[in-house]
Amino acid sequence: MAGHSLPSTIMSMFVPVHRDGWKFLAIGVALALLFLMVWPPLGWLLVVISAWIAYFFRDPDRVTPLREGLVIAPADGRISAIERVVPPPELGFGISERQRISIFLNVFDVHINRAPVAGRISRSVYVPGAFVNAALDKASADNERRALVITTGSGEEIGVVQIAGLIARRIVTFKDEGDTVAVGERFGLIRFGSRADVYLPEGKTALVAVGQRAVAGETVLADLASSEAEREARLG
């Protein structure tokens, strides 16, 4: 069958590079070609760096669950914390505690962020700040970040915060306040290591566990239509 031919199998291994990475890749390739002619050792090092840039900005397709009420992971990475906290003021959620699910992205994770729910971006606030290790709890309050509130068709509000990390120096958002997004739609990225926090509506609990790997656009973090208690898990 054509779908299982050797060429199609090989091509399926190549993942598109997101347009935000094209300029970085172009610079890397240009420098690599230049130094391959002038000083090959550095040229080959730049070839490796260019390959890593293409890998970092890869933008794979994802299969997103569409049932209403599901909250989907906005980022690839490890679930680093699940805790009840007072949301940051820029979200405008008040002082009542909500469950926060934190996803830590290392430099090898896909860094494209996807909308956890479908709805309208009712709030988008950029907050300048520091660049401490994004795995630390204080990163939610101290680091540079972009806070988004997505209001669903049923009126539920989900907070998503893109947080810069130790070596991240740019938060990119493709959507503006007032725009609508589909669940799983690409809405931004954070360059070179970072973190994404999701704030659930009051009284809602997570269906994932600390240490679990999340896949943006695919992993179900919570179900707003369910009364299921927070899940227990074990590492093994």
For residues 159 and 146, what is the distance between their CA atoms, to the nearest angstrom?
11
Polymer length in residues for the chain:
236
d(CA 80, CA 197): 10
**pLDDT digit string, tens, across residues 4-34:** 665 555 555 567 888 888 988 999 999 999 9
pLDDT in tens, 121-133: 999 999 987 655 5
> Are 181 and 119 spatial neighbours (Cβ–Cβ below 8 Å)?
yes
Q: How far apart are CA 158 and CA 34, in angstroms?
A: 48
For the entire predicted model, the pTM comes to 0.87
- Token couple for 141: 């309050």
Are 31 and 46 within 8 A, CB to CB? yes
Report the percent of the chain where pLDDT is more than 70: 86
Q: Are 198 and 159 in contact (CB under 8 A)?
A: yes
Please choose, from the candidates 194, 199, 196, the residue with its C-alpha nearest in 3D space to the C-alpha of residue 100. 199
Contact between 143 and 128 (Cβ < 8 Å): no
Name the fold adopted by 70-223. Answer: Glucose Permease (Domain IIA) (2.70.70)
Domain extents in the chain: 2-56, 70-223
98-108 pLDDT per residue, tens: 999 999 998 88
- Six-digit token string for 206: 């997570």
Tell me which residues are annotated as active site. Answer: 194
